[in-house]
Each structure stands twice: as C-alpha cells, then as structure tokens.
Amino acid sequence: SHQTDWHAIRADFPILNQEVRGHPLIYFDSAASSQKPRAVLDALLHYYERDNANVHRGLHELSSRATEAYENARSKVARYLNAATPEEIVFTRGTTEGINLVAQAWGSRFVREGDVILLTEMEHHSNLVPWQLLAQRTGATLRFIPVNEDGTLDLTELPSLLTPEVKIFAFTHISNSLGTINPAAELIAASHAVGAITLLDAAQSGGHLPLDVQALNADFVVISGHKMCAPTGIGALYGSAELLEATPPWHGGGEMIVSVGFQSSTYKPAPYKFEAGTPNIAGAVGLGAAIDYLEAIGRDAIFAHDADLAAYAMRRLRELPDLRIHGPERRGGLVGFTMPAIHPHDLTTYADRYGLALRGGHHCNQPLMKKFRLPGTTRASFYFYNTKEEIDRMTEILFQAHHFFA
C-alpha cells in the first residue's frame, strides 16, 4: 500500500498558505465549511471559460456541453454514494435544502395527524426545524432519542420510541458538536423493522468516510458540497428510486415539467421533477471535481487521518487545567471543549488574534447545549489538510489564553 503524502496534499489548497494577523493561518473550522483544492477551483474556471450555458434547453454546442458536465457530475455523486442509478441523485443547495425537500414534499403526502417523526437530541437545527414545521402543519408529533452524558445516543430507549407510529426517523451520521459517529446501518435496519423510513444527515460524514447507500439500505441521505471540498450552494439528496417516484414535486417552474397548461401540468420523473429552474451548474461541476479529488486520496485514508488528528488533539487538550472535552472517545475529526473561566466567544476571539480559526457557540445545537447546561463550546474541526504541528500550536495558544483570562 502507498504512503499518503499529506504535505503535498496540503499544498493543493492555496488558501492555507497565508498569514492572518501576522501568524500562519491555522484553519480548524472545516466542520463549518471546508477549503477547496486547486483542482476544484480549476474546474470552475474551466467551466466558465469554455462551457457555460443553460442546461437541457438550448440545441447548441455550449448548452449540450453544460448539460453533459452537469449530468456527468450527477453520475459522479451516484458513484460516490454507490447509488444504483444517477436518477436517485437530486441536486440541492445543500443539506438544509435536502431535508426541507423531504420534510415538505415527502412529508406532505405521507405524514398525517397522529404520526410520529423521530429525531435525536443531537440534531443540527437544519434537521430539527423543518420537522417542527411539518409537525405543526400536519398534527404529527416529534420524539427524540436522548443523548447520554458521554455524547452517545441512549439506544436503550430505542424500543419505546421507535414504534409503528413512526413514519420517518431522521438522524445525523456524525454530530457536528460532539463528533459522535452514530450506528447508521443499525438504526436504518431498526426503522425498517417497524415500517419507518429514514433520513441520514450526512453533512459531517459525506466528505469524511466511505458512504454506501446500498450497503446501508438507506432511504434518504443528504450531503453538502461545501463541507467536502466543493463550492457553497451545491449539495445532493439521495433517495431510493421507489421513494423519489412516490414523492410529489415541491418547487414548480421550468425544467421540471413535461407539459404545461393554464390549469395544470405534468412533471418529469425524478430527479428532474425536484429541480425547478436553472440549477447551480458550475457548483455541480465543482462537486464532481471535489469527488474525483477525494476519491483519489481515498475516504478510508481521510477517515484514518481525521481520527488520528482528533485523538492527538484530545491528548494535547487534556494537558490544559480544567479543560473539558465534550463527546465520546471514538469520534470524527472534531473536538468541542469548554474552559470554565472563558466564554466560548471570548476564547474564539482570542484564538483569532493568533491566526487560529476555531468556532465558538451553540453550533446550531441549541437544545443539546441547553440540556448539557453549556453556554456553547469551542470547536476545533479538522480535515486531511491539517497537521499535528497545528494542533501543537493551538495547544500553546490555549495555554496562553488560560493565563490571559485567569
């Protein structure tokens, strides 16, 4: 097996090679948004310099090139997730839009008063608020799998919560604040056993570990391009062919129709019936390039590198007096922590003075922070372009902060 040259890979990211406030940038906020390699930037430039036109409409050369580039990107996403066909991939703006599509379009047909929508206490607001809207509209109720003190799901509660009234169980694959990796295959199988379908929020896992929708027997899976080296404003929803076919359209407009009359219209099959209007063509091209890039490195290698950095960071952070790490030992590439004397916002602002980009706050997990009685946490999140030397430097800066705020 070949030895990955992580330093050469890091050099693919032009943005990392800069100083911030007179210090070398340390970018530890990839869970919020990842950086983009040269290959993705080049793909965007190439598309706009040579192929740009609208898709599926014009009968001219550039339009067919743009259409081919867009559909080629769809095939790459399908291959990346191991979907059976590209028609099971709907392009979206990102995870948030994918969840709203399912909650609104699938939910409007299949969720009724008295039904239950099952979530967990560790969901990002984007996998909570769309279901609240659906519940309020339909009279369905929400249930939550509790989170243990150690940041894992309390699955002893599963049999009493995952009952035949549950229509859909929507849960995150990797928690964006705790780093917890949830047992997706097991939770999907348990849902199917009671006749529920599932939505897997793969915002934090899509670019970080191998995802195989057929092996998982997944129903809906959502990802965000910007967290996996692609541009902002592009993402994907995987839905099994059967479920996408049964789901009615949500946005109406051009591109999604077969024929339109003044009173009513007929729609294209999935995925096109879910893609009204001019899509983010360049974004899809960028996502395709990002997928090629990630596949060349290998997701097993990326996951191992992430886990190695997270383990090293936890070891170093434990040298700080009173620092508390939140979440389980086994985790994805992020570490959320608190220092009792320093508010997360102050700590993050302090770190920024030294070119260290952390995230401080509730991380769109307000109910979870409230449950743990935390004002928020400070989060360092890693990707394959980060190094242990950067973690050493972070540890120094945090020691300095500890003395500064003491």
Binders of ligand PMP among 308-367, rule CB under 6 A? 364
Distance of alpha carbon 107 from alpha carbon 291, whole angstroms: 30
Catalytic residue among 364, 368, 380, 397: 364
Distance of alpha carbon 216 from alpha carbon 213, whole angstroms: 5
Asked if 24 and 355 touch (Cβ cutoff 8 Å), the reply is yes
Determine, following the binding rule CB under 6 A, whether residue 201 of this chain makes contact with ligand PMP.
Answer: yes
Binders of ligand PMP among 204-263, rule CB under 6 A? 204, 224
**Choices 92-100, 153-161, 242-250, 298-306 (CB under 6 A): range interacting with ligand PMP:** 92-100
Distance of alpha carbon 395 from alpha carbon 401, whole angstroms: 10
Residue 404 amino acid letter: F
List helix spans (H) across 259-343: 281-297, 299-317
Determine, following the binding rule CB under 6 A, whether residue 381 of this chain makes contact with ligand PMP.
Answer: no
Determine, following the binding rule CB under 6 A, whether residue 180 of this chain makes contact with ligand PMP.
Answer: no
Asked if 110 and 167 touch (Cβ cutoff 8 Å), the reply is yes
Q: Max alpha carbon distance in the chain (Å)? A: 71
Tokens of 147: 């989170």
Question: Which letter does DSSP use for residue 264 in this model?
Answer: -
Determine, following the binding rule CB under 6 A, whether residue 172 of this chain makes contact with ligand PMP.
Answer: yes
**Choices 8-16, 156-164, 197-205, 253-261 (CB under 6 A): range interacting with ligand PMP:** 197-205
Q: How far is the CB of 203 from ligand PMP (least distance, A)?
A: 3
Partner residues linked to 199 by β-bridges: 170, 220
For tokens 């990802």, what's the residue?
A: 223
Nearer to ligand PMP, 364 or 401 (CB): 364
Q: How far is the CB of 103 from ligand PMP (least distance, A)?
A: 13
The alpha carbon torsion through 211, 223, 153, 117 (nearest 10 deg) reads -120
Q: How far is the CB of 287 from ligand PMP (least distance, A)?
A: 12
Determine, following the binding rule CB under 6 A, whether residue 127 of this chain makes contact with ligand PMP.
Answer: yes
**Choices 55-63, 123-131, 248-256, 303-311 (CB under 6 A): range interacting with ligand PMP:** 123-131
Distance of alpha carbon 111 from alpha carbon 28, whole angstroms: 40
Asked if 364 is an active-site residue, the reply is yes
Determine, following the binding rule CB under 6 A, whether residue 187 of this chain makes contact with ligand PMP.
Answer: no
End-to-end CA distance of the chain: 49
**Choices 122-130, 213-221, 263-271, 333-341 (CB under 6 A): range interacting with ligand PMP:** 122-130
Determine, following the binding rule CB under 6 A, whether residue 203 of this chain makes contact with ligand PMP.
Answer: yes
Annotated catalytic sites, by residue?
364
Residues in contact with ligand PMP by the rule CB under 6 A: 94-96, 124, 126-127, 172, 176, 201, 203-204, 224, 364
